[in-house]
Every structure is written in structure tokens, then in C-alpha cells.
Amino acid sequence: MRVFELFSKRLKDKEKSGQDDIYQYDVIPANLRVQVKQIAIDAIGRVGSLGDGFRTADQDNNLWFQIEKTYLREKGLEGIAKEDFAGSRVLAFMRDCSTLDWLDFLELIAFGIGLMANDEHGYERQKWQVSLAGQNAIDEINYRFREAGVGYQIESEQVIRIDSQYVHAEVVRPALSLLSEQGFDGPHQEFLTAHQHYRVGENRQAVAMAANAVESTLKGIFDQKGWAYQKGSRISDLVKVARSNNLWPDYLDASFDQLAATLQSGLPKIRDNDASHGQGAKPKKVPDYIAAYALHLAASKIVFIVEAAK
């Protein structure tokens, strides 16, 4: 479906011109909830009640049923709403639920959109009157998030939190794209897990998993190229292996030395100081800005490492 720049939106954008691009994370506005509901119906299909004379009029859309069933199982709930169809119950619940519950359901919807898009023969899409292609639906949801100033995006069928649209577009998304390639399943999952922790405020775990993703990316490259390394190597040891095998070109000279120093002291230092060791009697709190820096630093390193390996 085409996105229209309505007059009211152009006026609002003009009023915000020159202001910082700041996102909020705590409230999912009512209009965004409605927009995502409409997109979900277009991409997953009607919730049920075909009523076409050939099938039972009260038939349930199986994808909506699976979305509801998965949520109930994971949350340990008996039910969420009183409606005739699973999709109706899901969408009714999402209208007023908490932000965290809404985001949980959004991930399940993203997964459902992907399944419907992969309907090989198009039978289910036709059956449930799907009118929006899978990736187009995800792209529009991400656009609606940006439009509403809500700092989340869907990447690889998971919701991740973003703090800068530029950094997300130029660093985080390319990192996820590169890690989705064959041979990087481990670091891909670790990087997504880091964002999951960050999304719910588990910053210490986010920093640790981001660092793990960098280390696993290096190991994945070494495995592909047949470069020997010790399985329990620290990041500093892995950097030495990469340098000895000319993963980075020597013509970078001083810039290369600076990069190598950053790889050895930047992200790992954060992880060593704030995440991976015992926190003592008094719990340590890793600030949001530290966790955001760790994620962005990890993403930029992953992009550099994988591109250099090519």
C-alpha cells in the first residue's frame, strides 16, 4: 500500500524541522497501534469467517491462531480477550495492552508475516485476502515507527531498539545483513539477543552479548578461511590472529594501528568493566548510553570485519 504524506503530517514535519531526531520508547501511540493492526491484517489476512459458501463460515485463520497460541504458552496465560477468532482476540488485546506486551506480539506478527509471504502457491494468501507483500509490510511498519517517533524497528523478524536512525541505517542494519549470510548463525543470534536485552533495559547482558557477537564473527571468519586459533581466545588474541593473516590491509598504516587498538580496548573494555565479571555486593547499573555505545561499536566492528574478510 502506498504511503501518503498527508497535509497534517507535512505540517508537523515542518514544525519539527531543525529539532533533534529523538525517539521515545515507553508509549505506543493509539494511532500507531491502529496502523500496525491494519498492516497486519493486510499482510497476514482476515482473522476468520470466510463465509464464501464453500467453507465453514466460522473458520479461523491458522496463522493468527498460532500467534495467539505462542503468546499464551510463553506468558503462561489462559486467554487474552473474548472474541470469536484468534486474530480478533490478538488485535483487541493489542489495542490497550502494555508497551512490552505490544512489542512481544509485534514480533510474533512479524514472524507470521514472513510465514504468509513464504506461502509457495499463494493459496493461503488468496484464501485470507492478503493484499500486502511480506517485506513491504515490514517496511511500512518500520516507517510508521519512525513517523511516530517511537524508537523501535523490525529487523530479521525481531524488534530492536534504536537510538539514532542514521546509526541504525548505516551501521546496525548492514551488520545484521552481513551476519545473516551463511557461516554467521552464532554471531547473528548473539547480536539480536544483545538488542533484545537492550530493549527491556538489561544493559549489562546487552553489552556482554554484543562483545560475544564480535568475537564470534572473528571466529566464524577464521573457520571459513581455515586460520588456526585457540577456542578460548580473548578478543586481543583474536585480533592478533586476524592481523597475522592480513585480514586488514597494511597500507592503512597508523590508521590500522589505531583500529587494532580500538578493537582491543574499546568494546572488550566495556564488557570487562561492566558486564562479564562479578558485580560485587552492590548491583552495578550500566547506563543506557553505555549499552547503546556498545551495540553501535559492535555493529561497526562487525561490518568492518566481515567486509574486510571479503
- For residue 160, the surrounding DSSP H or E stretch is strand 158-161
Q: Return the domain boundaries, the chain.
A: 23-161, 170-309
Q: How much is the pLDDT for 195? A: 81
How large is the C-alpha radius of gyration of the chain? Answer: 22
Quick one: how many helices (H) and strands (E) in the chain? 15, 2
Q: How much is the pLDDT for 20? A: 39
Residues 160-178: tens digit of each pLDDT: 887 766 566 666 778 888 8
State the pTM of this model.
Answer: 0.58
Is 243 a residue whose pLDDT tops 90?
Answer: no
Average pLDDT, the chain: 80
CA distance 50 to 161: 37
Percentage, residues of the chain above pLDDT 70: 75
CA distance 200 to 56: 42
With vertex at residue 70, the alpha carbon angle to CA 23 and CA 87, rounded to the nearest 5 degrees, is 75
Domain 170-309 has CATH 1.20.120: yes
CA distance 87 to 69: 11
CA distance 189 to 157: 12
Max avg pLDDT among 194-198, 222-226, 265-269: 222-226
Is 111 a residue whose pLDDT tops 90?
Answer: yes
CA distance 267 to 273: 10
